[in-house]
Amino acid sequence: MKKMKKLLSAALCAVLLLSLAVPALAAGPFGKGEYATIVTGSDFQDLGSAAYERFGRLLRRMREDGMQTPDSMLVGGDYTKLLFDYAVPGMAQIQDQLTSVYPEADPERVVCIQGNHDNPASGFTKTGFYDMGVYCLYAINEDDFPWMQTLRPLAVERIRKLGEDIDAKLQGMIGAGDLRPVIVLTHLPLHHTSRTLYGDNRCAAYLFEPLNRAGQKLDIVFLFGHQHSGDYDDYIGGSVNFLAPGETIRVPKKDEMGENAYTNETLNFTYANCGYVGYSDNTESETSTNALTLGAVTLSDKKIRIVKYTEEGLFGFNDVARKNPGAGKENTNGGKTAKLSERFWLLEAKVFRWFFDLMQRFVSLFSFGK
């Protein structure tokens, strides 16, 4: 009888331990009350087709971990392939991969902006403010916030006017009591790096100031790309960047260039990169990574979550408490929804992609003698 009691006690302990372990095993970034998920990625640059194939694998890993059908996808520019402009077929391939993994996803809600390696005539979503339903989007193409800004005399005035428009739109939301989350999507970042020394994002303050002002009232997420080709961002994490409201960001000075030509500003909004899909030359160290990732922004009643995935699985996530809990949750009907600005390119993209695939096979055949 005593032996039976011991066996029973051991069995109960095992069940208790297993019940405690299961939640830990099931812990992950998804399925925690989010009502909208926005996939994010940028810089699909590669010498072959690996970046677009990698995107599909990353997306499948996220689905395996419970990510719901995305509300939309935001792509932060640069789609080159074999060192050629590949934006037109690249955007179509992104749509194809998304709907392959998530058949219920709406390909019309894939928002693609221009990077510094892209032909501006490729049909990108136009720079401007968009009502996406549960959130609002301000999309910014590289032509409107360009790299090497000191070499483009008209860039400063264009960026100044862009900042004024951002200010008008966000203050208009606040004045109207529209407190939905706002995502800002651009190719270039706002923070000072060694690239700023030769003019990259030197005029970022024109955008930072209205965003930080509105960030006192609104839940704003700023997403960027571009910074994957060197160790520029090692001081803020390498290829995976995240700064929360309350943290410090180095904002370049408008009228000065140099290693220390920045001011330390306290963020009122969330700041992160989209996730580099093609390649990264950032440093792998204790404080920096060169991981290739796909991102997601999830919206819940009380928090916004920024998620990053590698092909091995979850890289990490960060939560930000919302200033306006639940705002926009029921607003499922968007107004001026962001779309790619031209629809005729879909057929062109298929022809272009077929040509590239044929060319790759030809090069492979003669390069390797097979």
Is 72 within the bounds of a domain?
yes
**Is a pLDDT exceeding 80 seen at residue 39?**
yes
Residue 177: pLDDT band (50, 70, 90) is very high
Is 12 within the bounds of a domain?
no
**Is a pLDDT exceeding 80 seen at residue 327?**
yes
- Strands 242-243 and 270-273 turn out to be antiparallel
- List own/partner pairs for 339-344 with CB under 8 A and 24 or more apart: 339/108, 339/109, 339/111, 339/125, 340/91, 340/110, 340/111, 340/112, 340/123, 340/124, 340/125, 341/123, 341/124, 341/125, 341/126, 342/123, 343/123, 344/123
| pLDDT tens for each residue of 15-37 | 444 444 443 344 689 998 999 99
What is the average pLDDT score of the chain?
A: 85
Range of the domain at 68: 30-368
**Is a pLDDT exceeding 60 seen at residue 57?**
yes
Mean pLDDT across 163-182: 97
Is 264 within the bounds of a domain?
yes
Q: Are 169 and 129 in contact (CB under 8 A)?
A: yes
Q: Are 280 and 239 in contact (CB under 8 A)?
A: yes
Residue 367: pLDDT band (50, 70, 90) is very low
Is 24 within the bounds of a domain?
no
**Is a pLDDT exceeding 60 seen at residue 1?**
no
Distance of CA 364 to the CA centre of its chain: 33
Q: Which string of b and e fits 25-39 if b means at least 16 CB within 10 Å? A: eeebbbeeebbbbbb
The two three-digit tokens of residue 50, written as one number: 């690996």
Phi first, then psi: give them for residue 226, nearest 5 degrees.
80, -30
CA dihedral 57, 30, 304, 263 (to 10 degrees): -40
Question: What size, in residues, is the chain?
Answer: 370
| pLDDT tens for each residue of 184-198 | 999 999 999 888 777
CATH number of the domain enclosing 127: 3.60.21.10
Is 184 within the bounds of a domain?
yes
Is 119 within the bounds of a domain?
yes
The two three-digit tokens of residue 291, written as one number: 């991981």
According to DSSP, the residues that pair with 270 across neighbouring strands are 221
Packed helices 50-64 and 87-101: angle between N→C axes, nearest 10 degrees: 20
| Helix, strand, or coil (residue 315) | strand
| pLDDT tens for each residue of 121-146 | 778 999 999 999 999 999 999 999 98
Is 23 within the bounds of a domain?
no
Is 154 within the bounds of a domain?
yes
Count of domains forming the chain: 1
User: What is the identity of the amino acid at 311?
Assistant: E
The two three-digit tokens of residue 139, written as one number: 């999309």
Note the pTM of the prediction, 2 decimals: 0.86
Q: How high is the pLDDT of residue 2? A: 47
The two three-digit tokens of residue 285, written as one number: 């160290």
Q: Between residues 291 and 230, which one has the greater pLDDT?
A: 291
- Strands 262-266 and 182-186 turn out to be unpaired
